[in-house]
Amino acid sequence: MELLSPAGNFERLRYALHYGADAVYCGTKIFGLRAMADNFTLDELAQAAEYTHTQGKRIYVTVNAFLRNEDLRSLPETLRRFEECKVDALIVSDPAVIDACKTHIPQMELHLSTQANTTNAAAARFWHSIGIKRIVLARELSLEEIREIRQETPDTLELEAFVHGAMCVSYSGRCLLSNFLNGRDGNRGECVQPCRWRYEIRERGKDGLWMPVEEDERGTYILNSRDLKMIASLKELRDAGVVSAKIEGRTKTALYVAAITNAYRLALDDLAAGAPFDEALEAELEKPRHRPYTTGFYFGGDTTEQTECNDSPQTHEFVAVVLEADPANGRALIMQKNRFFADDILELLTPGSLGKEISIDRLETEDGKEVVSAPHPAQKLWLYTNDPLKPLDILRKKI
């Protein structure tokens, strides 16, 4: 299976590719459903596509917002710019966008967004008949339903499914809460995630008391869905006919993208080699910030795609990234992300490996002065260690 990772900006795109993604998906400043992500300008997108292709990987661009008439005026020129950027596919959902693609950039590969809510084989065949090469399946499908769709659709149609990340309490993202409560339309990429807010009800009697709907020690969260995690079930997804495993997270941190991509890369490589699932990967997925996990709807009657508190555990923090390796002198130039000390035991996050601890021999400023800590944001330091490091390796510390 292809491993498809999120790229909310150029930094996260580089991490996704470095840590094992076969392809990345990203959005521009318009026509996507993640307006809160940094996203790319068209000039930045051209650079991102060139960089991705130098790595031998693929890049897909989201054009999956539901457009209004006013949006259609600039759509043809934007689509032509996407083609000039040499992206590998567009992720679409609105029939108007599909029609415009066929008219103005007919050679562009089209993937149908999960926002189109494809839940049956007849719909999948229809979309394929009008030029869709890949369908990102609705998240509400079970493995058995995916298997049936695969059996009843042409082999030339590819199936993609989410395997990790945030879930939506509404049907494949079709939600009006944000628009109703905040005036920002989730169907046009501006969702403020009111499903993550805390809610109570108010009784209409004399006192008008506010009452919790359901409460634990951390509060009331009646709409806040758990996060999806399918790392232990990739074989079942592959056997059902899924060819691309998609990680959600264009608004997530670089550390999140790197750690999650690395774990799924290792799991997919083990699967391809016929090796048993490595339980250590489960522990790795607990380290980045996340909500409690679920397998969603994949196993049918299981209803664990339920609400939880908005607090999410995080066991490790991102303290530094390696900028430059100097193995001849046993050191690496790093950039500080969070404060750490020379006597800390740090954990190395590097492609193809899990949680190796490293010790610091000493820290020096760029001009050679020894220091005992890295207290300043974005401070560059020489870190001396016996462990080999390479650019884009991440150093993290247990909280």
* Separation of alpha carbons 314 and 16, rounded Å: 20
Residue 116, classified by CB atoms within 10 Å of its CB into exposed (0-12), middle (13-18) or buried (19+), is buried
Full pLDDT tens readout for the chain, 399 residues: 999 999 999 999 999 999 999 999 999 987 765 656 578 999 999 999 999 999 999 999 999 888 889 989 999 999 999 999 999 999 999 999 999 999 999 999 999 999 899 999 999 999 999 999 999 999 989 999 999 999 999 999 999 999 999 887 766 666 777 776 777 776 666 777 777 676 666 666 666 666 555 555 554 456 667 889 999 999 999 999 999 999 999 889 999 999 999 999 999 999 999 999 999 999 999 998 888 888 988 997 655 455 555 556 678 899 999 999 999 999 999 999 999 999 999 999 999 998 889 989 999 999 999 999 998 889 999 999 989 999 999 999 988
C-alpha pair distances (Å), 20 with each of 162, 258, 262, 346: 17, 9, 6, 22
According to CATH, the topology of domain 2-174+224-294 is: TIM Barrel (3.20.20)
Residues in a beta bridge with 25 = 6, 60
Q: List, as one string, the DSSP characters of 293-307.
A: EE-TTTTTT-----B
pLDDT value at position 138?
A: 93
DSSP state letters, 106-139: TTS-EEE-GGG---SHHHHHHHHHTT--EEE--T
Amino acid, res. 83: E
Long-range CB contact pairs, 386-389, < 8 A, 24+: 386/330, 386/359, 386/361, 387/348, 387/356, 387/358, 387/359, 388/325, 388/327, 389/322, 389/325, 389/332, 389/348, 389/350
Q: Residue for token digits 């264009």?
A: 250
- The CA distance from 237 to 161, in Å, is 8
Residues 99 and 131: their CA atoms lie apart, in Å, by 10
Map out the domains of the chain as residue ranges.
2-174+224-294, 316-398
- Fold of the 316-398 domain: Elongation Factor Tu (Ef-tu); domain 3 (2.40.30)
Sheet holding 394-398, edge to edge: 356-359, 345-349, 394-398, 316-326, 331-336, 380-384, 362-365, 370-371
The residue type found at 359 is: S
How far apart are alpha carbons 338 and 40 in whole angstroms? 26
Only one residue has tokens 């990102």, namely: 136
- Same CATH fold assignment for domains 2-174+224-294 and 316-398: no
In angstroms, rounded to a whole number, what is the distance separating the alpha carbons of residues 159 and 143? 12
Contact in structure between 19 and 351 (CB atoms under 8 Å)? yes
By C-alpha distance, which of 86, 135, 142 is closest to 113?
135
Can you give the pTM of this predicted structure?
Answer: 0.87
- How much is the pLDDT for 289? 85
